[in-house]
């Protein structure tokens, strides 16, 4: 072999190595760059996203309603999307675009509230999860950002048993930890209060008007005298007619960071648990099959 030939072979080898290195690097970058936003993916990247998420998709559920005198109408939507997008970046999942078509009849007396009818809420949610599933989201995690949905969502999940579906609806409905973190200064803290205002100081500080937080009262007005186990739809208006519960002026970035980190980490763990859940769909299918002929069901 001449010196020139040896050089040519060496050169060719180097070329092959560097090309394969380049291809690997490209693959690594495109893997790292796959967006978690449904609407930002191309059609073929969407296919890759569904594959990478193992069919696990998030539906962050917000609302448009008054949030005290100091927070924006979209507070729940902004907060829940912040938590969901960060969680999906920790544990890959495809995140559905802005969704805010929930239960908020109790705030129809306040400006800016968008309250769809009961029929529309259920129909739209069903068609949305059906469409997600048709596109490969066989595990739909509804991440609830709005207290007024707390009855709607378990009912929606329960009613998935009324007829067969080839996917499972999971509801994740916690926004703050039970305890831990910086000590809280207020005890009434249900809506636009210390916790929610603190979280907004992390997700969208530019929309928080802390100096206005005491312009209205968020105190419990106790205007209904009924035993605790009697429910009426007007209970919230009876207690908090300003659609404000708590005192947002007590909010701090420290509390917001603690609660938001907790929300993101807990949701990331939930995505992981949902991905490895192989039982729910199997049991659903068994249930649908048996429910076609209940007289054959044996204990
Ligand atoms: Zn809220």
| CA 119 / ligand 1 centre spacing (Å) | 23
Six-digit token string for 17:
């190595």
Residue 27 pLDDT > 60, yes or no? no
CA distance 194 to 187: 9
Please write the tens of the pLDDT for every residue from 250-269: 999 999 999 999 999 999 99
Please write the tens of the pLDDT for every residue from 40-76: 999 999 999 999 999 999 999 999 999 999 999 999 9
| CA 195 / ligand 1 centre spacing (Å) | 10
| CA 131 / ligand 1 centre spacing (Å) | 27
Six-digit token string for 282:
């199997």
| CA 4 / ligand 1 centre spacing (Å) | 74
| CA 114 / ligand 1 centre spacing (Å) | 14
CA distance 233 to 255: 32
Please write the tens of the pLDDT for every residue from 219-243: 999 999 999 999 999 999 999 999 9
| CA 67 / ligand 1 centre spacing (Å) | 6
Q: Round the average pLDDT of the chain to a whole number and report it.
A: 93
Burial of 180 (0-12, 13-18, 19+ CB in 10 A): exposed
Neighbours of 276 (CB within 10 A): 9
CA distance 114 to 124: 15
Neighbours of 218 (CB within 10 A): 26
CA distance 145 to 139: 19
| CA 208 / ligand 1 centre spacing (Å) | 13
Q: What is the 3-state secondary structure (H, E, C) of the chain?
A: CCHHHHHHHHHHHHHHHHHHHHHHHHHHHHHHHCCCEHHHCCHHHHHHHHHHCCCEEEEEECCCCCECECECCCHHHHHHHHHHHHHHHHCCCEECCCCCCCCCHHHCCCCCCCCCCHHHHHHHHHHHHHHHHHCCCCEEEEEECCHHHCCHHHHHHHHHHCCCCCCEEEEECCCCCCCCCCCCCCCCCCECCHHHHHHHHHHCHHHCCHHHCCCCCCCCCCCCCCCCCCCCCCHHHHHCCCCCECCHHHCCHHHHHHHHHHHHHHHHHHHHHHHCCCCHHHHHHHHHHHHCCHHHCCC
Residues within 5 A (CB) of ion ligand 1: 75-76
| CA 82 / ligand 1 centre spacing (Å) | 13
| CA 137 / ligand 1 centre spacing (Å) | 27
Give the dihedral sign, CA 204/206/207/212.
positive
Q: Mean pLDDT across the stretch 107-121? A: 98
| CA 240 / ligand 1 centre spacing (Å) | 14
Six-digit token string for 137:
């989201």
- Which carries the bigger pLDDT value, residue 31 or residue 33? 33
Six-digit token string for 218:
């968020």
Are the C-beta atoms of 192 and 208 separated by less than 8 Å? Answer: no
| CA 196 / ligand 1 centre spacing (Å) | 7
| CA 227 / ligand 1 centre spacing (Å) | 26
pLDDT at position 224: 97
| CA 287 / ligand 1 centre spacing (Å) | 36
Give the dihedral sign, CA 247/251/255/257.
positive
Q: Mean pLDDT across the stretch 111-122? A: 98
pTM higher than 0.75, yes or no?
A: yes
| CA 24 / ligand 1 centre spacing (Å) | 45
């Amino acid at each position: 072999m001449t010196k020139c030939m040896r050089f040519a072979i060496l050169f060719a080898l180097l070329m092959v190595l560097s090309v394969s290195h380049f291809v690997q690097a490209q693959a690594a970058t495109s893997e790292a760059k796959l967006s978690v936003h449904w609407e930002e993916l191309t059609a073929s990247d969407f296919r890759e996203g569904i594959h990478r998420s193992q069919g696990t998709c998030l539906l962050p559920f917000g609302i448009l309603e008054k949030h005290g005198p100091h927070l924006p109408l979209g507070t729940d939507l902004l907060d829940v999307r912040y938590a969901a997008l960060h969680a999906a970046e920790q544990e890959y999942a495809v995140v559905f675009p802005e969704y805010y078509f929930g239960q908020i009849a109790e705030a129809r007396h306040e400006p800016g509230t968008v309250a769809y009818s009961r029929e529309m809420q259920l129909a739209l949610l069903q068609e949305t999860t059906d469409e997600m599933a048709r596109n490969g989201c066989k595990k739909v995690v509804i991440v609830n950002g709005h207290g007024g949905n707390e009855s709607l969502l378990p009912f929606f999940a329960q009613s998935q048993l009324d007829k067969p579906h080839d996917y499972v609806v999971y509801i994740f409905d916690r926004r703050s930890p039970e305890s831990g973190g910086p000590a809280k200064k207020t005890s009434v803290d249900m809506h636009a209060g210390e916790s929610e205002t603190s979280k907004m100081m992390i997700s969208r500080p530019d929309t928080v008007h802390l100096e206005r937080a005491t312009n209205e009262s968020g105190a419990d007005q106790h205007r209904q005298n009924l035993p605790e186990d009697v429910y009426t739809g007007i209970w919230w208006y009876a207690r908090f007619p300003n659609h404000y519960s708590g005192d947002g002026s007590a909010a701090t970035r420290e509390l917001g960071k603690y609660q938001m980190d907790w929300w993101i980490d807990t949701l990331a763990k939930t995505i992981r648990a949902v991905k490895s859940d192989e039982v729910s769909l199997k049991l659903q299918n068994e249930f649908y099959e048996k429910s076609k002929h209940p007289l054959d069901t044996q204990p």
